[in-house]
């Protein structure tokens, strides 16, 4: 641009922060926490009182949740199975149920008979219809029964024949 005396003026471009319109004065503010009011103090006290119970409830919920989910999944699987059952499922289930009722009728007398007869007859009839599964269950049950018997025998032997020390503190000679 030309000035009044005929010379060209040179202007240097300004940065945005140099313009007064765009600069904000530096504020030196600090945050001051307001004092807690009566309501906030009451809520804080309530939280401190309730916290152990909520922790217990959360722990219980976390323990129960997988079991409930497993139960729901089993129910869903059972529903799907019964919705599209394999051939001859209902007649087999009827025979197995009938043997349970027959066991109840035959088990006159003691409570033990009323528990054992129906369970035994239903087990026998189920094993006739599902021999592979019955064999697998019998094998796993037999192994666990054997393990329990060995543990019981060892515990009984330990109770009946405790290790005794002689007066001089040495172990007695084991008998063959």
Q: Compute the distance between CA of residue 102 and CA of residue 119 in angstroms, rounded to an integer.
A: 11
Summarised one tens digit per residue, pLDDT across range 141-166 is: 888 888 888 899 888 888 888 765 44
Copy the structure tokens of residue 148: 């329990």
**Residue 5: per-residue pLDDT:** 62
Confidence class for position 16, pLDDT limits 50, 70, 90: low
Q: Compute the distance between CA of residue 143 and CA of residue 119 in angstroms, rounded to an integer.
A: 20
**pLDDT, averaged across the chain:** 83
Residue 169 has pLDDT above 60, yes or no: no
**Residue 121: per-residue pLDDT:** 92
What does the angle CA 23 – CA 28 – CA 33 come to, to the nearest 5 degrees? 135
Q: Which of 9-13, 42-46, 119-123 has the lowest mean pLDDT?
A: 9-13
Confidence class for position 124, pLDDT limits 50, 70, 90: very high
Contact of 119 with 106, CB cutoff 8 Å: no
Q: Compute the distance between CA of residue 129 and CA of residue 92 in angstroms, rounded to an integer.
A: 7
The torsion defined by the Cα of 68, 71, 77 and 79, in degrees rounded to 10, comes to -100
Residue 139 has pLDDT above 80, yes or no: yes
Which of 119, 73, 116 minimizes the C-alpha distance to 96?
Answer: 119
Residue 172 has pLDDT above 50, yes or no: yes
- Count of CB atoms within 10 A of residue 126's CB? 19
Token pair 């290790």 is found at: 163
What is the CB-side half-sphere exposure of residue 157 using CA atoms within 13 A?
A: 6
What is the CB-side half-sphere exposure of residue 86 using CA atoms within 13 A?
A: 5
Looking at residues 59-72, what average pLDDT do you find? 96
């Amino acid at each position: 641009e030309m000035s009044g005396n005929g010379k060209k003026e040179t202007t240097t471009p300004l940065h945005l922060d140099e313009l007064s319109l765009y600069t904000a004065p530096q504020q030196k503010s600090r945050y001051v926490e307001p004092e807690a009011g009566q309501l906030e103090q009451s809520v804080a006290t309530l939280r401190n009182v309730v916290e152990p119970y909520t922790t217990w409830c959360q722990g219980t919920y976390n323990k129960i949740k997988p079991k409930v989910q497993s139960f729901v999944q089993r129910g869903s699987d059972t529903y799907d199975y019964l919705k599209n059952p394999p051939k001859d499922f209902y007649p087999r289930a009827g025979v197995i149920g009938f043997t349970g009722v027959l066991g109840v009728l035959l088990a006159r007398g003691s409570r033990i008979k009323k528990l054992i007869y129906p369970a035994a007859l239903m087990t026998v009839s189920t094993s006739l219809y599902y021999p592979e599964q019955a064999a697998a269950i019998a094998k796993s049950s037999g192994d666990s029964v054997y393990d329990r018997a060995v543990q019981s025998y060892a515990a009984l032997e330990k109770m009946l024949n405790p290790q005794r020390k002689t007066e001089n503190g040495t172990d007695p000679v084991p008998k063959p």
